[in-house]
Chain A
Amino acid sequence: EIVLTQSPGTLSLSPGEGATLSCRASQSISNNYLAWYQQKPGQAPRLLIYDVSTRATGIPDRFSGSGSGTDFTLTISRLEPEDFAVYYCQQFGGSPLTFGGGTKVEI
């Protein structure tokens, strides 16, 4: 099983600042099957990024993904008030499919 470790656990920032979230895999993820989700309290997760760096439909370009192998990053260039949420990475390069533990971005 591929274990995804997200860091930091919590990121305390202000609107307008940039955010860098890390996702590290215990093994190399094949086929670039690495995605990122945003989840706000009481809501379902929302797909932000798939295949490491492709933004999902309707996702603003302040969100970007990068990385390869075992190290991946979600970058939010300028935090908007609605971006404060929990972010999860997820891989499907190896079975079973797994999620990271999440990074909370708080004000």
Chain B
Amino acid sequence: EVQLLESGESLVQPGGSLRLSCVASGFSFSRSGMSWVRQAPGKGLDWVSTITSNGGSTDYADSVKGRFTISRDNSKNALYLQMSSLRAEDTAIYYCAREWYGHFDFWGLGTLVTVSS
């Protein structure tokens, strides 16, 4: 059974930092591109970042470029998102997802990140 389990909910102050984690099982993680997709409360889906299977290439949405860093540890089947200089508009549920030939076939349950003072 495929599972993607993101780290727990977090409350962080504006300007602060946070690292999200996602642990995968049930599929070949080391052969899979992985992404983070977020959803602000009551809003639609927004792609955040993608990393290739070996970690050699990354891509970011303009809204997070320079503030967020995606990484992975294939030995641990883990995906990470280091977020810094957080803003209120970064408040969202963050999903990790497997990116497979341009679409997302496996999704985690999501973790809520709240940026507020």
- The answer to whether A90 touches B107, judged by C-beta atoms less than 8 angstroms apart, is no
Residue B56, interface by CB 8 Å: no
Residue B71, interface by CB 8 Å: no
Question: B65: shortest Cβ distance to chain A, in Å?
Answer: 10
Tell me the bound Cα distance from A93 to B50 in angstroms. Answer: 15
- The answer to whether B108 touches A95, judged by C-beta atoms less than 8 angstroms apart, is no
DSSP majority for the B interface?
strand
Q: Mark A84-107, 1 if CB is under 8 A from B, else 0.
A: 000010101101111111100000
Tell me the bound Cα distance from A63 to B54 in angstroms. Answer: 34
Tell me the bound Cα distance from A98 to B62 in angstroms. Answer: 12
- The answer to whether B102 touches A44, judged by C-beta atoms less than 8 angstroms apart, is no
Query: Which residues between 73 and 117 of chain B lie within 8 Å of chain A, taking CB atoms?
Result: 95, 101-105, 107-110
Chain A residue contacts of B44, Cβ below 8 A: 88, 99-102
Which listed segment binds B: A12-20, A45-53, A73-81?
A45-53
- Classify chain B's interface size: 10 to 19
- The answer to whether B103 touches A44, judged by C-beta atoms less than 8 angstroms apart, is no
Task: Select from chain B the residue with minimum beta-carbon distance to A54.
Answer: B103
Residue B11, interface by CB 8 Å: no
Q: Mark A8-52, 1 if CB is under 8 A from B, else 0.
A: 000000000000000000000001010101010000111100110
- The answer to whether A88 touches B45, judged by C-beta atoms less than 8 angstroms apart, is yes
Question: A2: shortest Cβ distance to chain B, in Å?
Answer: 12
Question: A20: shortest Cβ distance to chain B, in Å?
Answer: 20
Question: A41: shortest Cβ distance to chain B, in Å?
Answer: 11
Which of A's residues lie within 8 Å of B, judged by CB? 31, 33, 35, 37, 39, 44-47, 50-51, 56, 88, 90, 92-93, 95-102
